[in-house]
Chain A
Amino acid sequence: MNQAPINVPPAWHRIGKHEVAPEASHDEIARFNFLSNLNKHLATIVSPGNRVAYDKRVRPRFLREKGRDFQSRREVREAMLKDPYFQTWSALRRSAMEMRQQAGRSLVLRQAKELAEKAAKLNEGKDTLQLNPDLTIPPYIAKVDNHLMPGSYHTELFPGDVSAAANYDMGLFVTTGGALGRFNDGGGKAIAQWLLSHHPEFKPQRILDIGCGLGHNVLPIAQAYPDAEVIAIDVGAPMLRYGHARAQALGVTNVKFIQMDGQYTGFPDESFDWIQTTMFLHETSGKSIYGIMKEIYRMLKPGGVTMHIEQPQYTPEMDLYEQFIRDWDAFYNNEPFWSKMHDIDALELMTQAGFKAENFFQIGVRAVNDNEDHTKPRAPEPEDHGRAAVWNVFGAWKK
């Protein structure tokens, strides 16, 4: 009897290194390895049992008691919350997410001062980093510690702090099991490759990335279009300080990092050829998402394109169980707008902003993953709902 092949996540030491990255001790790496494997186990071994519990007892009981089927994913959630199997999986998944934050923060905070100094050194005298201490943090960031990240993207523990970004940079590899590549840039790489191969005639001169975070997805875009002027904006100063330093350290110098609210940028009308968001819109809010899209339409040059990478939108055809399980992060991993955002009709969102329906498109993309030996599953694997490195991209050309 041989051991069956199983899918193991890449060990954390494979993560892409750069000059501003924190130093990780042997035990800190091991802690991340435990958490990657815990996430993998919960997603592949434990989570499928939720579907079994739903099919075998939760739904039959609901049918029996109510004399009808579920009518909404909220009803599914209310029923599943009473199921002991779902309770166990949820309690473990929540615990794993909290431990991932703890592991990242304990690694980063013990060297927070050194990290701030490393970033400051790389950023010194560069006009490609522009911070605005007077910026009002939009409520969708100020009110929510997204994905259980204490202090969210913008909180500074001391002047010059970059710890929020360093924590994000080190931990994303753990949450996704390395599925986004060594530099967590598989989304940016995928969209750049798609545009290069499907629209080779398109030569964007000015590119804007909104909600860039630490810039992990905008760097491959800047590398794919080295002659373009790339501007990456975010409201979180720690993200921008770290992201700019990281870009400098990685030798990508055609990106300007500016602290700005994507809904109110102040950029001139028709000043960008390509405006991108990557896993950003689900962390906004009901009105601001429409405001941001209107701002994008305003800033886009005729002939320009905008694209938005997200998990698949919910549609009436999508099975209620699937909607429910995809919604877990909304309620239990502090992504409160996730649920509503995925209900939005993307076409309606774009046409409200001014785009014409005939210029709207949706595509599917898969992360470009450079983790050798870990790029293809060795065994069949269920989807890690809400975390899968396979996305829906919606967008439109401005014509």
Chain B
Amino acid sequence: MEINDIVLANSKAKGKRPYFFDDAAVERVLNITMAVAGELAVVHERLDTIERLLEAKGTLSRADIEAYRPDAKSEEERQRWHAAYIARILRIVQQEMEAIRDENLENNRTMDEVADELEQI
């Protein structure tokens, strides 16, 4: 007996799903965002556990964490991490910008249009 727990955990309940916003796309994004917010809370709680355990075991105190200031090298690494993280999340906005900036109309054709061309060459 084997079940795909990852897929089954997400099963849809019977019944047509109500969408409350005029545009279902907005609600879809809201649902994805809330799920991500939930996972952020999960990571936060785990980190909080780690900090409390480290403090309880005398490894470091949370005051050390609050007082921590990165040196120049660490600062650069951490800021780069933030930059990459934000860019990854806002990828679609960047791509929309690239689309409108691209002067070459050929690069913004649909694949239907490209397919039509490829068929001929």
Which residue numbers of A lie inside 8 Å of B, CB to CB?
26-27, 30-31, 33-35, 38, 81, 86-88, 90-92, 94-96, 98-99, 101-102, 105-106, 109-110, 112-113, 143-145, 148-152, 157-159, 331-332, 334
Q: CB within 8 A of A106: which of B5, B12, B18, B44? A: B5
Which residue numbers of B lie inside 8 Å of A, CB to CB?
1, 3, 5-6, 8-15, 17-21, 27, 30-31, 34-35, 37-39, 41-42, 44-46, 49
CB-CB under 8 A for A95 and B13, given A106-B5, A109-B5, A157-B3: no
Q: CB within 8 A of B10: which of A26, A102, A145, A157? A: A102
Chain B residue numbers with a CB within 8 Å of A109 are: 3, 5, 8-9
Q: CB within 8 A of A149: which of B13, B31, B45? A: B13
Please report the C-alpha to C-alpha distance between residue A332 and residue B41 in the assembled complex, in whole angstroms. 26
Does the CB pair B20–A31 fall under 8 Å? Answer: no
Chain A residue numbers with a CB within 8 Å of B31 are: 91, 95, 98
Does the CB pair B42–A110 fall under 8 Å? Answer: no
Q: CB within 8 A of A91: which of B10, B20, B38, B39? A: B20
Does the CB pair B20–A90 fall under 8 Å? Answer: yes
Chain A residue numbers with a CB within 8 Å of B27 are: 91
Chain A residue numbers with a CB within 8 Å of B1 are: 113, 158-159
Please report the C-alpha to C-alpha distance between residue A105 and residue B3 in the assembled complex, in whole angstroms. 12
Chain B residue numbers with a CB within 8 Å of A33 are: 41, 45
B72 to chain A, nearest CB (A): 35
> Which residue on B lies nearest to A81, using beta carbons?
B20
Does the CB pair A105–B11 fall under 8 Å? Answer: yes
B57 to chain A, nearest CB (A): 17
Does the CB pair A99–B15 fall under 8 Å? Answer: no
Chain B residue numbers with a CB within 8 Å of A143 are: 14
CB-CB under 8 A for A112 and B3, given A30-B41, A331-B18: yes
CB-CB under 8 A for A26 and B14, given A87-B21, A102-B9: no
Main secondary structure of the interface of B (DSSP, over half): helix
> Which residue on A lies nearest to B22, using beta carbons?
A87
Closest 6 CB pairs between A and B? A106-B9, A150-B11, A109-B5, A30-B45, A145-B13, A34-B41
Please report the C-alpha to C-alpha distance between residue A91 and residue B19 in the assembled complex, in whole angstroms. 7
Central interface residue in B13, B19, B41, B44, by most chain A CB within 10 Å: B13
Does the CB pair B14–A144 fall under 8 Å? Answer: yes
Please report the C-alpha to C-alpha distance between residue A38 and residue B37 in the assembled complex, in whole angstroms. 10
> Which residue on A lies nearest to B5, using beta carbons?
A109
CB-CB under 8 A for A150 and B3, given A30-B41, A90-B20, A91-B30: no
Q: CB within 8 A of A87: which of B8, B20, B38? A: B20
Chain A residue numbers with a CB within 8 Å of B37 are: 34
Does the CB pair A150–B13 fall under 8 Å? Answer: yes
Does the CB pair A99–B35 fall under 8 Å? Answer: yes
Does the CB pair B18–A94 fall under 8 Å? Answer: yes
Chain B residue numbers with a CB within 8 Å of A95 are: 30-31, 34
CB-CB under 8 A for A26 and B49, given A33-B41, A99-B34, A331-B18: yes
Please report the C-alpha to C-alpha distance between residue A90 and residue B8 in the assembled complex, in whole angstroms. 25
B114 to chain A, nearest CB (A): 37
29 contacts between A and B (CB under 8 A): A27-B45, A30-B44, A30-B46, A31-B41, A31-B42, A34-B41, A35-B38, A38-B38, A90-B18, A91-B27, A94-B18, A94-B20, A95-B30, A95-B31, A98-B13, A99-B38, A101-B13, A102-B9, A105-B8, A105-B10, A105-B11, A109-B9, A144-B14, A144-B15, A150-B8, A150-B14, A159-B1, A331-B18, A334-B15
